[in-house]
Homo-oligomer: A and B are copies of this chain.
Amino acid sequence: MARMVLPFLVSASDTSSSARRGALQTQHGTIETPAFMCVGTRATVTGLDPEDLRAVGAGILLANTYHLLLQPGPELFRRVGGIHRFMGWTGPVLTDSGGYQIFSLASDRTVREKGATFKSYVDKRTHLLSPERSIEVQTAIGSDIMMVLDVCPDSTADEATIREAMERTNRWALRSLAARTNAQQALFAIVQGGVVSELRRESAAFLTAQPFDGFALGGLAVGDTRAQREEITHSSAALLPANRPRYLMGVGTPPDLLQAIAAGIDLFDCVLPTHLAWQGTAFTSTGRVRLKRSACAAADKPLDDCCACSTCRRFTRAYLHHLFKCGEPLGPRLLSIHNLHHYLALMAEARDAIEAGAYTSFARAKLAAIDRHEHSELSLRSSSPDDPS
């Protein structure tokens, strides 16, 4: 059943960059691109429910096949009719294949041509995650977009290792395509090749000859420098067909996103907004704010004056500081709401700027502002060296 299933329409392109505005039509609604996917690894975006996600403007969620295979397992998804009904989310869902987790998390793993064998962290049972098994599990999960199982080499690996991983990823991509059984679920291939341009070119040439619904850039933001990442993102995006969505996996900070949109990337996911929220760090229009710092203790003002999220509308920095000082779970929850809203509002602004044909000046102004605030924050930090956090 090797055919494309996901309609994708590019509706506007920026005149001075490769940035583009598009729409992906899934069974669970249209995704306006460029889009940021909120990370809901285990069928939950930590601490938030589907209503919270709708309120912050989330359009599409990302869940993870590796984690959901182990708990609750594909059989449960079959019984309840898929992830949307299970978690109460009616919008689109993309599932990562579990490739990255096999290589970064699993213990006692053995990778052969057939697939990866590993022990479950839930019940210590041995599982085989092959390209076919990953598609089978993603079919049970019922995601709108499935990802092929890929081989993720260590970012410090030598070129021979990266080539081997890329070539196996290509072979596994074909097996994934052949294994697809549900004509409603789209399938994306993953371009590998580390920071070696020639390998990226070979990988893209091989995969784009196949009827995948979209193409992801994998193996970035895993030890490479920001300059390398930007260079590979730009050169690889240009190798991908214009009429298919492009997804940059696991990236990144707001500047990373702004740069990648200029390279023509349509989809992103990153744990940063929620992970930093759980550590007490907020993204704001005037730079990052660490809520645990004593400077916030008596700050009787919103986290971000320019933000329309429910946290900024209702609570002060002083109250958020208090929650983090007490270790109260409402703190990370309110900050997750704010940080995701911050990311999703940035994407909405980017889409508007592309539509207005003004993306380059928009991105330049945003990057300059972030740079200025990060610089002023550094100055600020050195002037109060005794602040404990």
- Other-chain residue from B72, B298, B323, B334 in contact with A325 (beta carbon distance below 8 A): B72
**Interface positions of A from 40 to 55, Cβ below 8 Å from B:** 42-44, 46-51
Number of copies: 2
List, in ascending order, chain B residues with CB within 8 A of A323's CB.
44
Interface size of A by CB at 8 A reads 39
Interface flag for A314 (CB, 8 Å): yes
Closest-CB distance, A341 to chain B (whole angstroms): 15
Bound CA span A252–B329, Å: 24
Q: Which residues of B contact A319 (CB under 8 A)?
A: 43, 86-88
Check B326–A42 contact: CB distance below 8 A.
yes
A80, CB-defined interface residue at 8 Å: yes
Interface 1/0s, chain A 314-343, versus B by CB < 8 A? Answer: 111011011101101110111000000000
For the complex, give the distance between the alpha carbons of A48 and B329 in Å: 9
Q: A47–B297 contact, CB under 8 A?
A: no
Asked if A71 is at the interface (CB within 8 A of a chain B CB), the reply is yes
* Interface membership of A300, Cβ < 8 A: yes
Q: Is the CB of B326 within 8 A of A80?
A: no
Give Cα A50 to B334, complex, Å. 12
> Which of B47, B72, B321, B332 is close to A318, meaning CB atoms less than 8 Å apart?
B72
The closest CB in chain B to the CB of A52 belongs to B330
* Residue from B47, B79, B310, B321 in contact with A300 in the complex, judged by beta carbons closer than 8 Å: B79
A76 at the interface (CB under 8 A from B): yes
CB-CB < 8 A to A329: which residues of B? 46-47, 329, 332-333
